[in-house]
A and B are shown apart, each in its own frame.
Chain A
Amino acid sequence: MMAEDIQAKLKNYKTAPFDARFPNQNQTRNCFQNYLDFHRCTKVLTAKGADTTPCEWFRRVYKSLCPISWINKWNDQLEEGTFPGKI
């Protein structure tokens, strides 16, 4: 049931919806949190050997919100092993 929900949500995705956790103009944390959540979600589900489709939501949101240069910088840091966030 959950899997169909998430597929529906992903199919109808236009842009990042309002997130009450980040109500103000500065959306930096919104971007960063979804970037973290995507990688944490991927890590946990891959470790269990499960399908990582639910993690797609986080990827869509951070792709909508984050400046591309930030995404590239963080991806480079992840590759180098210098990313400061806790995954």
Chain B
Amino acid sequence: MAHQAHAYHMVDPSPWPLTGATAALLMTSGLAIWFHFHSLLLLYLGLTLLLLTMIQWWRDIIREGTFQGHHTPPVQKGLRYGMILFITSEVFFFLGFFWAFYHSSLAPTPELGGCWPPTGINPLDPFKVPLLNTAVLLASGVTVTWAHHSLMEGNRKEAIQALTLTIILGVYFTSLQAMEYYEAPFTIADGVYGATFYVATGFHGLHVIIGSTFLAVCLMRQIQYHFTSEHHFGFEAAAWYWHFVDVVWLFLYVSIYWWGS
């Protein structure tokens, strides 16, 4: 038809789903090749293709929404549903690792000495850096909310300040956690304690990095006047994701760091 008579977005043909699928294939086979034949080439190719796919696909979404006006209210509603469903799937992802942790820690086997933490494991003091990390993420939850309100009130300068502060706090968390990993007296190979600790906190840390990146993209977009006081779903999605990361940390802190010590 000459022009669309509905409010929905019929997306133009795009190569990025195919390049993304190809990247997934290259990364999985690349991982297997690395394990068996020590070559990282395929894996690197896959990661590069993944990075290029993400950059270009999301760049195109920004073009379609912000510059071409395709993100009408019904379209935005669909994006909201999508983000919520995605975060829900991530909740289930973490639920699995918490299940693994509680399975092993609630009934510790004789091999561990029948106790938790297992014999020989010196856990991190929950009232030192882990507590600081908790404060950092909680504070970042406040600053991201401050940024949202500034955005909604049309306060450009404060939105930029609050968003920047949120990102700084995210980076601070990541560097603190990296130092903890370096200094910790136990490794991922140290029995089920090490395995559950590093897999759960490791995936969390990865999500902090992803969330910080998402927020950084929002900062760049805010600086470049992409957001209006009424329409800024990209930022809202990033804020939801950031709160989710914070909540996962709270569960990690209480379960693994505090109760688990």
Question: For A36, what are the chain B residues with a Cβ–Cβ distance below 8 Å?
Answer: 114
Comparing B12-20, B29-37, B115-123, B251-259, the segment that makes contact with chain A is: B115-123
With an 8 A cutoff between CB atoms, is A84 at the interface? yes
With an 8 A cutoff between CB atoms, is B160 at the interface? no
Question: For A84, what are the chain B residues with a Cβ–Cβ distance below 8 Å?
Answer: 110-114, 118-120
- Chain B residue with the shortest CB-CB distance to A31: B110
Q: Within the assembled complex, what's the spacing in Å between the Cα atoms of A50 and B238?
A: 69
- Chain A residue with the shortest CB-CB distance to B111: A84
Question: For B107, what are the chain A residues with a Cβ–Cβ distance below 8 Å?
Answer: 29
Question: For A33, what are the chain B residues with a Cβ–Cβ distance below 8 Å?
Answer: 114
Interface string of A34-53 (1 = CB under 8 A from B): 00100000000000000000
Contact A32 B110 (CB under 8 A): yes
Q: How far in angstroms is the closest Cβ of chain B from A26?
A: 9
Question: For A28, what are the chain B residues with a Cβ–Cβ distance below 8 Å?
Answer: 109-110
Question: What total of chain B residues lie within 8 Å of the partner, measured CB to CB?
Answer: 11
Question: For A86, what are the chain B residues with a Cβ–Cβ distance below 8 Å?
Answer: 113, 115, 119
B:72-127 near A, CB below 8 Å: 107, 109-115, 118-120
Q: How far in angstroms is the closest Cβ of chain A from B177?
A: 29
Question: For A17, what are the chain B residues with a Cβ–Cβ distance below 8 Å?
Answer: none
Interface string of A58-86 (1 = CB under 8 A from B): 00000000000010001000000000111
Q: How far in angstroms is the closest Cβ of chain B from A73?
A: 10
Question: For B110, what are the chain A residues with a Cβ–Cβ distance below 8 Å?
Answer: 28, 32, 70, 74, 84-85
Q: Within the assembled complex, what's the spacing in Å between the Cα atoms of A23 and B114?
A: 18
Question: For B115, what are the chain A residues with a Cβ–Cβ distance below 8 Å?
Answer: 85-86
Question: For B111, what are the chain A residues with a Cβ–Cβ distance below 8 Å?
Answer: 84
Q: Within the assembled complex, what's the spacing in Å between the Cα atoms of A28 and B110?
A: 8
Q: Kindly name the residue among B110, B114, B118 whose own CB sees the greatest number of chain A CB atoms within 10 A.
A: B110
Q: Within the assembled complex, what's the spacing in Å between the Cα atoms of A50 and B97?
A: 49
Q: Within the assembled complex, what's the spacing in Å between the Cα atoms of A29 and B107?
A: 9
Q: Within the assembled complex, what's the spacing in Å between the Cα atoms of A36 and B113?
A: 10
Question: For A29, what are the chain B residues with a Cβ–Cβ distance below 8 Å?
Answer: 107, 114
Q: How far in angstroms is the closest Cβ of chain A from B72?
A: 59
Q: List 14 A-B contacts (CB under 8 A).
A: A28-B110, A29-B114, A32-B110, A33-B114, A36-B114, A70-B110, A74-B110, A84-B110, A84-B111, A84-B114, A84-B120, A85-B115, A85-B119, A86-B113
Top 10 A-B residue pairs of the complex, sorted by shortest distance between their CB atoms: A84-B113, A84-B119, A32-B110, A85-B113, A32-B114, A85-B114, A84-B112, A86-B113, A84-B111, A86-B115
